[in-house]
Structure 1
Amino acid sequence: MSSNDVSSIITSSFLKGILMGVKILWPLWFLIFATVLIKILFHLWELRRLSKSGIKEIDQMDGLTFEKYLQSLFRNLGYRVERTAYIGDYGADLIVSKDGIRTVIQAKRYSGKVNIKAIQEVVASKAKYHCTEAMVVTNSYFTKPAIELAKANGVKLWDRDKLVNALLSIKKDTGLNDEINEIVVSEEQLADMDDNNVCAICGKRVTEKVKQYCLSNPQRFGGKVYCYEHQKNK
């Protein structure tokens, strides 16, 4: 047998082995391809869903604007809504009522996870505002200790996912987008009225109420103005 014949036999055996391997393993390759495709499609669907909800705009808001956003949201969800004072609110930002149930809400527009302090504050504010329920709403998520404390005290938690679902449930049938645009514009107009309405750290414009809050607490802020995010570090 010549060397050419040997090479031909080896090549033929190799190709047969590959074809047999493909034949045996094609279900596995199909499953891998299908899994990757499903993940890509889900990611695209999630991006479209988040874009429709307006959550990205919420991520850019300051704390006070977020409170006003939630005020409009809960009103469109059928609640009667009261806002607490921005200064000295005892850990409560909104009081909502529906079906005879009065709920105190703390709004947390965070970039990181909401910790246990928010739960402690909203629990303490329940009696102050004569509420039977308590809730914390955030554009972010909660730490594990916060979730455990909320469960132990019957505090309802709306994380980013629940907030998005609530937004999507009403945006088709309401003018929430227009209401929120008016809120944001009015906040910017207030800020433009005074060149001193800027954060001493990042230069971001703040509302008149945020400015007055900082100035009314000179021991904490040293007579300077800080945006909501940088107030937390003072």
Structure 2
Amino acid sequence: MDNFIDIFTKQIINVFYPFLVFIYLLIFILFIFKFIINLILKKIEKNKLKKIGINDIDNLDGLTFEKYLEVLFKNMGYKVIRTPYMQDYGADLILEKDNKKTVVQAKRYKSKVGVKAIQEIVAAKGYYKADHAMVITNSYFTFNAKILAKENNVELWDRKNLIKNIIQYLSDDNKNDNKQALVNNESFKDELQTDINFCFICNKRLTDKEIDYCLKNTDIFKGKTYCYNCQKKV
């Protein structure tokens, strides 16, 4: 009886062993294939995000904006971790560079960012035991948000700072003309002002009063500066 069982078992193994090997091999091939496809899709998404302009950013959802900033900071030399979309404790990204940790909150807003974002990132800085904290928006910050950020050493990137860093860092290492392409992109052309001391329209040198008036009324002038005559055209 024992011999019969042994013979039967060996026959079963001989029959099914090649099939099992085939199944394991197929699973391994599918795993490798999925891994390669994911790499390709991430590369495509990264290249697509690198080429969009500020007006495109205005139309992104919150999660895609976080992914965009992830690409930007990786180009700046940071190791980037995206926190869970829910229960992130106030931080959307965690950056690491030169043994320093930075927490970042991303705000893809149409209106100005208020004090709540500053409060949340200050809390996140403590929770993640970070050395630095940032809030980044495609919009601007309220006056109170700026005051609170200054008191808590929170770095703020508004629309103008974001554009500046995109142009500086989102350039292909193998294509030196990519920065110029970003500058010439229609999405950026109407946003970029290189010197606030000159009118954005007529390039006339501005008085301190004209500059202060424009910067205090960012809801009207969007962070740009204009001479008295051109202010009437905005």
Normalization by structure 2: what TM-score?
Answer: 0.51
2:132 paired with 1:130: no
Contact 1:102 1:133 in 2 (8 A): yes
- Residue 173 of structure 1 deviates from its aligned partner by 3.0
Aligned twin of 2:155 = 156
Amino acid at match of 1:166: N
Secondary structure, counterpart of 2:140 in structure 1: coil
Secondary structure, counterpart of 1:125 in structure 2: helix
Q: Tell me, which stretches of 5 or more residues in structure 2 are unaligned?
A: 1-50, 179-234
Q: Take 2:144 and 2:54, find their aligned partners in 1: how far apart are those partners?
A: 25
Contact 1:53 1:171 in 2 (8 A): no
Amino acid at match of 1:102: K
Q: Take 2:60 and 2:110, find their aligned partners in 1: how far apart are those partners?
A: 11
- Residue 53 of structure 1 deviates from its aligned partner by 6.9
Matches within 5 A, 1:84-103: 84-103=83-102
Q: Take 2:55 and 2:165, find their aligned partners in 1: how far apart are those partners?
A: 15
Amino acid at match of 1:56: N
Contact 2:72 2:170 in 1 (8 A): no
Q: Take 1:69 and 1:53, find their aligned partners in 2: how far apart are those partners?
A: 9
- Residue 170 of structure 1 deviates from its aligned partner by 2.0
Matched positions, count:
126
Classify 1:169/1:156 alpha carbon distance in 2 versus 1 (closer, same or farther; 3 Å). same
Matches within 5 A, 1:111-126: 111-126=110-125
Secondary structure, counterpart of 1:136 in structure 2: strand
- Residue 56 of structure 1 deviates from its aligned partner by 0.8
- Residue 107 of structure 1 deviates from its aligned partner by 0.2
Any idea what the Cα deviations from partners look like across 1:181-220, whole Å, max 9, x if unmatched? xxxxxxxxxxxxxxxxxxxxxxxxxxxxxxxxxxxxxxxx
- Residue 93 of structure 1 deviates from its aligned partner by 0.2
2:62 paired with 1:63: yes
Aligned twin of 2:81 = 82
Amino acid at match of 2:97: K
Amino acid at match of 2:158: D
Q: Percent identity?
A: 58
Q: Take 1:155 and 1:171, find their aligned partners in 2: how far apart are those partners?
A: 24
Secondary structure, counterpart of 1:112 in structure 2: coil
Q: Take 2:132 and 2:102, find their aligned partners in 1: how far apart are those partners?
A: 4
- Residue 102 of structure 1 deviates from its aligned partner by 0.5
Secondary structure, counterpart of 2:56 in structure 1: helix
Amino acid at match of 1:106: Q
Secondary structure, counterpart of 1:131 in structure 2: coil
Amino acid at match of 2:59: Q
Q: Take 2:124 and 2:171, find their aligned partners in 1: how far apart are those partners?
A: 34
- Residue 174 of structure 1 deviates from its aligned partner by 4.6
- Residue 172 of structure 1 deviates from its aligned partner by 3.1
Normalization by structure 1: what TM-score?
Answer: 0.51
- Residue 100 of structure 1 deviates from its aligned partner by 1.7
Q: Superposition RMSD on alpha carbons, in Å?
A: 2.0
Contact 1:76 1:174 in 2 (8 A): no
Secondary structure, counterpart of 1:137 in structure 2: strand
